[in-house]
A and B are shown apart, each in its own frame.
Chain A
Amino acid sequence: AQSVTQPDIHITVSEGASLELRCNYSYGATPYLFWYVQSPGQGLQLLLKYFSGDTLVQGIKGFEAEFKRSQSSFNLRKPSVHWSDAAEYFCAVGAPAAGNKLTFGGGTRVLVKP
């Protein structure tokens, strides 16, 4: 069975500083990996996805993520954080052979200091 671990529950970062959110996954085949963001009272918005090919993927809002098979990781990064990036971020792995279900990590809440 697949699983996702996000080791950091909370991260506080200063506006303008860089951000990296960690994600480790467990999946028996080639993973389909996603990052979603959830602002308070909102649904889950897709930031980016990895299916195959280039291991560095670009997403919306200036985010990127790097797939590292050897480390079973898919970390999310942003070079310069804006106050509007304060939200909860979820990493997920997709299982095409199991109804395409997503398995989510526990999320990382990002706080942005002025």
Chain B
Amino acid sequence: EPEVTQTPSHQVTQMGQEVILRCVPISNHLYFYWYRQILGQKVEFLVSFYNNEISEKSEIFDDQFSVERPDGSNFTLKIRSTKLEDSAMYFCASSGPLGTRRNQPQHFGDGTRLSIL
């Protein structure tokens, strides 16, 4: 069964540094998402992305965050200048295919654990 893959599984970064989290969505999916889960808290929506633009973003997704689909297979989340409170598990998800956004569930990767020191 096709799956969403995320790399790395664990990222340790100094505060203030830039970090890029990478995701390879399921190949025929067209809708992409990032979520995060701070330890002990709920899974929170960050951003959704379709047709090379952001569809929706949460208030967490401020100017320090950006997303990109640099090629036909990768979907990345960049945090420009990391803060201690960015430490969390970040999940990528995808759904599709074409024309079925409302009826297709999101499939999640195993996550990247981001630790900010």
Contact = CB atoms under 8 A, between A and B. Distances in A.
Interface of A: 32, 34, 36, 41-46, 49, 51, 90, 92, 96, 98-107
Contacts of B45: 101-103
Contact of B91 (A32, A43, A92, A106): A43
17 contacts: A43-B110, A44-B93, A45-B108, A46-B106, A51-B102, A98-B56, A99-B54, A99-B55, A100-B33, A100-B101, A102-B43, A102-B106, A104-B44, A105-B42, A106-B41, A106-B42, A107-B43
B91 A100 contact: no
A51 B100 CA distance: 12
A43 B111 contact: yes
Judged by DSSP, the binding face of B is strand
Nearest to A90: B43
B75 interface: no
Judged by DSSP, the binding face of A is strand
Nearest to A36: B108
A23 to B, nearest CB: 13
Contact of B101 (A92, A96, A104, A107): A96
Contact of A101 (B33, B42, B91, B105): B33
B65 to A, nearest CB: 15
A64 to B, nearest CB: 16
Nearest to A92: B43
Given A43-B4, A43-B110, A99-B55, A104 B105 contact: no
Contacts of B41: 106
